[in-house]
Amino acid sequence: MRSPRPSPPLSASLFNSLIASRARAGRSADALSLLARMLAAGFTPTAFTFAPILSSPSATARCAAQLHPHILKSGLLHCEPYSGTSLVGFFGRSGQFDRALKVFGEMTLRSVVTWNCLISSFVQFGRTHDALFWFRELVRSGDGLSDGSLVAVLPAFGSPVQAHGLVKKIGMDCFSAVANALLNSYCTCGGIYVAEKMFSELMFRDVASWNTMITGFARSNIPERAFELFLSMQRQGDLPNETTFASVLYACTSMSGHGHGKFIHAKVIKRNLNTSVFVNTSLVDFYANCIGRRDAHKLVEEFPEKSTTCWNALISGHSDSDGPTSLVILRDMLRSGIKLNEVSFSASLKDPSPLDIQQIHSLVTRLGHGGNDYVSSSIISSYASHGIVSDALTYGVALDPDSCSVSMNVLAGVYNKARMYQETKELLLQQQARDIVSWSILITACARNGDCVEAFGFFKQMRVMGHRVDNYVFVSLLSICTKNNSLDLGKLIHGLIIKTNSGCCDTYVDNMLLDMYAKCGRIEDCLKVFEEMEDRNLISWTAVISGLALNGFSHKALAWFKAMEKDGCKPDKVALLAVLSACRHGRLVQEGMKIFKNMKANYSVEAEMEHYICVVDMLWKGDMHVKKLNGNECQGRHIPSEHEESTIIFDSVYLLKKGTSIHKCARRRYLQLLIKMREKKLIVPEHSSLPNQQSGIFPGGAPWHIMKPIAVVSRCLRDPFAFSERLPGKCTSPQVQGQDRISSSPSQGLAEIPAKFVI
């Protein structure tokens, strides 16, 4: 009988190996226990003792706090770079930059890896200026550059072209890792064609290079090119891996390529990768979105390893009439013994019926996931999206504001949509720690409620607390400036947008700037903002056209409308209303009537109430007589029956144009029109501003025999039950009900806002 093999003698190297194996397995607690045994046995830690524990993904702040004194006591921080580098890396990954820089400064010996850890940590948290500063310090230090140094700092550059120039200058463009990082930078910044050209010029391409390009094209607007690259990769003999198949399946999903996806599925089976959870999840996502949940469901059941990730992909897929609902899939998961997580519930709450929401809500409570912030926010969103606002509010109010910040933000959004602005403010002010979303909703609520000074006060607090201002906040502040005609404050906001940078300013913010400058009378600044915009959409063109019309440049507005058409931007009903309004203000009757008559034929837009009213006013201001109009154009008999209220307005125009005096027949016709409007319930509160469209017909003051029927119409439109055949004894000018033009001076409250709130 063989005697048992003797145990190897204990040594520092043996303990280091055991500690490293436990740390790589994510068992930091066991690694710390072994370290304690090592120290108790009298062995001195070496350069390879502490680094594995601190580099473990399971390492905690408490773990680092325990190891830091041991590293200092053993003197390793001053005699070798490994332990100090691991400390710098841990503190950097945790966002504790003060401690990371302190350790970095105390290190006597540093390697290029130490610098790389510090730089990549700054990049990870978006502190690009610090990353570039320490990269320059690395170049000056003479410690040398590695490919890892460039890979770490490349995301900190504002443009991949700058990074590419640096790589060329240093002469490290031949390194595969650096080239792949450059390709990724071009792809993520929208320079997919530049990346393709660079890819074609590479002397050596590895699988990572192919994956970078396939992923870039899969996420672009030409996913077909990703599939072509996959075929080229195979023709050149490079074997695709899991990442390759996942990316090309994403491309097939984007282009709805049923045949392409099934072809890739066959390749996956041939490569024996159908056991990979990563690839299987992409397959389920493709089948669920392009073919149907029923086939995707069958595919999941055929997998040898049924993971929660694959089931979640099935739930997230588009629902169809034949496939199972999210609730049915959740039940199948429970029957199969699959553990549900927060992603399962969040995905299932995106498209359920109102009855399913209540059942999923009950399931969440029963399985103990009600305390999860993301699940709670999904429940609130589902209730609100189906119009069950009372249940959403009841559920959200019962949550803890401090532990459920995401849910509180969603609940505040529900309050905002319900125009319960005071409740929104009370809810968010209960939170001890507000994030950028909370501040954005809070400022938006104040802006919509008219609390201008309070909105800028919260904006000041937000900046003092170090939060970066996002586009939603800028939109809310610019809307306040626009409504109150505060040009100076709007300029300060514009300057802050430029100062805080920049490239993150999206088209929506630019459109708000266009609207603000136009409505404040600075059409030159409006056009300048438009010319500097990188991306323009229909709203951008409409804002400029309406701004030109509002400021009296009707001919320019018509020219810009034609330029918009040449640019390939098809106008919608709002853009058409803007150009018709320009024709109305400029008395361009022929041009306006040409656009109005061709709305359906040229732009596929049905004329609505606002278009007819605008044309009526345009005919008045253009001093068009009945005899100059063709046929029944003025009487409105060509108007579709669904716009009968517009027909009545045209008839009113016809009667007023017909003669200079209101005789009994004309008055009887007016009364008949008013009775008809009341009987057909065409007189509704939102039409109370209709007579105001006629208030500008006689700028010098209309005669009483003309104003009499207008006064009757005005009175009856405001109060349909106040109609009487007795004409009013005194005529007053119709009061403006809407806010077609903002006042020329800012409101008193907004004028009191000091510039320090913005600067």
Q: Of 708, 730, 696, which is closest to residue 664 (Cα–Cα)?
A: 708
Structure tokens at 137: 């310090």
Do the domain assignments include residue 337? no
pLDDT of residue 574: 92
Output the CA angle 572-576-578, nearest 5 degrees: 120
Residues 297-335 pLDDT 10s: 888 888 887 788 889 888 887 655 566 788 888 888 888
> Mean pLDDT lowest for which of 120-134, 155-169, 726-740?
726-740
Distance CA 567, CA 570 (A): 9
Do the domain assignments include residue 673? yes
Distance CA 562, CA 560 (A): 5
Do the domain assignments include residue 620? yes
Q: Of 424, 457, 449, 451, which is closest to residue 438 (Cα–Cα)?
A: 424
Distance CA 564, CA 557 (A): 10
DSSP per residue, 172-190? -TTSHHHHHHHHHHHHHTT
Distance CA 750, CA 486 (A): 8
Q: How many domains does the chain have?
A: 1
Q: Is the pLDDT of residue 440 over 60?
A: yes
pLDDT of residue 732: 31
CA torsion angle 355 357 358 360 (round to 10) = 120
> Mean pLDDT lowest for which of 82-86, 131-135, 281-285, 611-615?
611-615
Q: Is the pLDDT of residue 657 over 80?
A: no
pLDDT of residue 248: 94
**More confident: 264 or 657:** 264
Q: Of 634, 642, 626, 532, which is closest to residue 593 (Cα–Cα)?
A: 634
Task: Find the domain containing 707 and state its range.
Answer: 607-741
Residue pair 219/246 in contact by the 8 Å Cβ criterion: no
Mean pLDDT of 103-120: 90
DSSP letter at 287 equals: I
Mean pLDDT of 61-87: 86
> Mean pLDDT lowest for which of 163-167, 359-363, 463-467, 731-735?
731-735
Distance CA 666, CA 669 (A): 5
Q: Of 53, 61, 50, which is closest to residue 84 (Cα–Cα)?
A: 50
Q: What separation in angstroms does the CA of 672 have from each of 124, 128, 497, 662, 675?
A: 73, 73, 57, 15, 5
Q: Is the pLDDT of residue 232 over 90?
A: yes
Residues 117-128 pLDDT 10s: 999 999 988 888
Mean pLDDT of 139-159: 85
> Mean pLDDT lowest for which of 230-234, 541-545, 633-637?
633-637
Question: Quick one: three-class SS letters along 85-150?
Answer: HHHHHHHHHCCCHHHHHHHHHHCCCCCHHHHHHHHHHHHHCCCHHHHHHHHHHHHHHCCCCCHHHH
At 481, is the secondary structure helix, strand, or coil? helix
Distance CA 380, CA 409 (A): 10
**More confident: 396 or 206:** 206
Neighbours of 641 (CB within 10 A): 6
At 381, is the secondary structure helix, strand, or coil? helix
**More confident: 248 or 7:** 248
pLDDT of residue 553: 92
Residues 496-532 pLDDT 10s: 888 876 545 678 889 999 999 999 999 999 999 999 8
Mean pLDDT of the chain: 79
Residue pair 360/352 in contact by the 8 Å Cβ criterion: yes
Do the domain assignments include residue 317? no
575 confidence band (pLDDT: 50, 70, 90):
very high
Output the CA angle 597-683-713, nearest 5 degrees: 85
Distance CA 645, CA 681 (A): 10
> Mean pLDDT lowest for which of 283-292, 533-542, 629-638, 747-756?
629-638
pLDDT of residue 618: 80
- Report the share of the chain in percent with pLDDT over 70: 79
Distance CA 552, CA 167 (A): 54
Do the domain assignments include residue 401? no
Do the domain assignments include residue 271? no
pLDDT of residue 671: 52
Q: What are phi and psi of 55, to 5 degrees?
A: -85, -10
pLDDT of residue 4: 58
pLDDT of residue 540: 92
pLDDT of residue 66: 84
Do the domain assignments include residue 565? no
pLDDT of residue 675: 54
Q: Of 357, 426, 422, which is closest to residue 388 (Cα–Cα)?
A: 357
Do the domain assignments include residue 662? yes
408 confidence band (pLDDT: 50, 70, 90):
confident
Mean pLDDT of 628-633: 42
Q: Of 4, 7, 117, 43, which is closest to residue 19 (Cα–Cα)?
A: 43
- Report the share of the chain in percent with pLDDT over 90: 20
Name every residue whose Cβ is closer than 8 Å to that of residue 567 and which is 6 or more positions away in sequence. 541
Q: What is the pTM of this model?
A: 0.62
Q: Is the pLDDT of residue 12 over 70?
A: yes
User: Any idea which residue has 């830690």 for tokens?
Assistant: 45
